[in-house]
Amino acid sequence: MALTIALIGYGKMGREIEAVAEQRGHRIAARVGREGVGAHDLSAVDVAIEFTQPDAAFANVQTLLAQGIPTICGTTGWFARIPELDCSEAPLVFASNFSLGVNITFQVNRYLAELMAPHSDYRAKVEEIHHSAKKDAPSGTAITLAEGILADNPQLNGWALQPSAPDDALPITAIRKNPVPGTHTITYDSAFDQLSLTHIAHSRAGFALGAVVAAERIQALPSGSHNFASLLFPEAK
């Protein structure tokens, strides 16, 4: 079914989503920039896709949901406030990363963490590299990967950003340099050997495809908040 889509945020990511959506037969009805959601009549759209900034995302998403508009949100750095949202009028699908490859990596990361948990000789760490315009550090993707490791490693006391991570925390290193769209590496290191799992994004197109796939699938969802991974892997924990 062809969808009528509102793009909330029309920067590089918004333009990439537009290209992918149109390739898949959908129509972009609104492109919302700095003027804000309130400046547009969105009553005819089927779904909104929000990629803006952490300080704007909560208000944008709440306004869209209040209008009964199913909403996809890929802005990271604000997810702790999702429980504050009123999702009774429409569904929300959110993700720290909409790349299909990254979401597969999340699942592999959880399974790897289970396998490594009994082996205390190995020390886990996470590294992420992004372009210098990315505002939040560590990335939402790195935090999701860290949470996957921590779920099976009770010896670790949360995660912490390097270089000030304490010895009992999972260290995350955040590097900003251009023109990297996104690289995430989980490493288990011991005195004997090293094991690594890496995802490298070649462009923003993979993130855009995932967001459009979410927009297509959200039409069948009930009101409430839904993690994108639950759409891709409904049987996964």
Is 135 annotated in the active site?
Answer: no
C-beta of residue 116 within 8 angstroms of C-beta of residue 55? no
By the 8 A CB rule, do 110 and 152 touch? yes
Q: Is-catalytic flag, 130?
A: yes
Neighbours of 111 (CB within 10 A): 12
Task: Give the pairing type, strands 91-94 and 71-73.
Answer: parallel
Catalytic residue among 130, 184, 199, 226: 130
CA 185/CA 10 separation, integer angstroms: 29
Distances (CA, A) of 181 to 10, 199, 204, 210, 214: 17, 11, 7, 15, 21
Residue whose C-alpha is closest to residue 175's, from 137, 140, 149, 144: 137
- The residues assigned a catalytic role are 130, 134
